[in-house]
Amino acid sequence: MSLIKILILTANPSNTGVDPLGLDVEVRRIEEAFLRSHHRDRFQIVTKLATRPADLRQALVEYRPQIVHFSGHGTETQGLVMENDQGKVQLVSTEALGRLFGAFDASPIECVLLNACYSEVQANAIHQYVDCVIGMNRPIGDQAAIQFSQGFYDALGAGSTYAEAFKMGCSAIDLEGGVEYLTPQLIGGKGGRAISPVGQGLPAPEPTATDGGTVRPAPSQSIGNVTISGSNNPFNAIQAGGNVKLNQSGTQSSSNNPDLEAALTLLAKLQQQVVAADALTSFAKKDTESKIAMLQEELLKPEPDKGFVKEVVEALKQGLAGVLTLAEPVTQVAGLVAKALRFML
């Protein structure tokens, strides 16, 4: 009976400009999930910390894992954030990741989980060569990322299919009251499982559709829009060299709400001020621009999620508190938004 190897890779460079992630907690929760599992003897966990690009390549070749789990930062189109020899940011491009996973003549890899913000882009690239890949379609907070991992591996250790384990991971976020349960995205992997049901007393997988589309969890409560919560800094989009671009756009009207329209006008001006601000680092500018874009996008929806709006506004206020020329516009935006959506900040 062969072991199912899970390769866990983490990267948390020191110069990201955001609060460190709780990657050690996530790794511990994964290990605990398998310690509770009746099938714990079937799994072997290999952990690589402070992962450099060469570490990823070498670990894939050496361990030939069935499951690859990456925890850290993502940047949407520019790839995943790993580390260099000095523990600083080193980006690995989406194209390079795809080619790496496609380099095996007969790859044993069945599932790749990218537990990093904006990693759906990389997940799609890897899916060309791996049947089941999970990525995040927007930022995900630290707590939600940990909850997803715990729910996913609890289910996987119990013999669930990858698709069912994915849903259990999303439910783990949902059951704790989090609203990021729609952030993880499953690409492929509808029928596969890590543990074969043969001789294990496990039920066979339910028949599923084979259209190859993205599987999304069915929401179990009425929540208007996806939001981000449970993290000191949930906006973990990382920049290296000042070139990372985060594209967010709103396509709907502000329903002729004068306070909301005034807030959106101020946000547009604030975005221009941020670009020109000498008091902000290149990363801080990109991080702030990302928050502004997310807030604009949410405010343009027919029913903005108040919880998400409040969190983004608070993050903006905290991030710009030391820059007088920017702090005042944020305060004005906060007041207008609170009035328009009728909540207290």
Please write the tens of the pLDDT for every residue from 298-318. Answer: 888 888 888 888 888 888 888
* CB of 273 closer than 8 Å to CB of 193: no
Give the whole-angstrom CA distance, residue 328 versus residue 179: 30
Q: Using a pLDDT cut of 70, give the percent of the chain over it.
A: 79
Instruction: Share the mean pLDDT of the chain.
Output: 80
CA torsion through residues 324, 327, 333, 337, sign: negative
Calpha distance 168→161 (Å, rounded): 10
Is the pLDDT at 139 greater than 50? The verdict is yes
Q: How far is CA 336 from CA 227, 266, 305, 313, 341, in A?
A: 20, 10, 15, 11, 9
pLDDT on residue 343: 67
Tell me the pTM: 0.60
As a 3-state breakdown, the chain gives helix, strand, coil percent values, each rounded to 5, of 40, 15, 45
Local confidence band at 229 (pLDDT 50, 70, 90 cut-offs): very low
Residue 232 has pLDDT above 50, yes or no: no
Range 58-74 average pLDDT: 95
Residue/partner pairs of 18-23 with CB below 8 Å, 24 or more apart: 18/73, 18/233, 18/235, 18/236, 18/238, 18/287, 19/231, 19/232, 19/233, 21/71, 21/72, 21/73, 21/142, 21/145, 21/236, 22/142, 22/146, 23/49, 23/71, 23/72
- When pLDDT is averaged across residues 74-99 and rounded to a whole number, the result is 92
- Residue scoring higher pLDDT (189 or 32): 32
Note the pLDDT of residue 289: 83
Across the range 216-245, mean pLDDT stands at 34
Is 243 a residue whose pLDDT tops 90? Answer: no
Instruction: Read off the pLDDT of residues 77-86 as tens digits, 9 standing for 90 and up.
Output: 889 999 999 9
CB 94 within 8 A of CB 123: no
Mean per-residue pLDDT, 89-95:
94
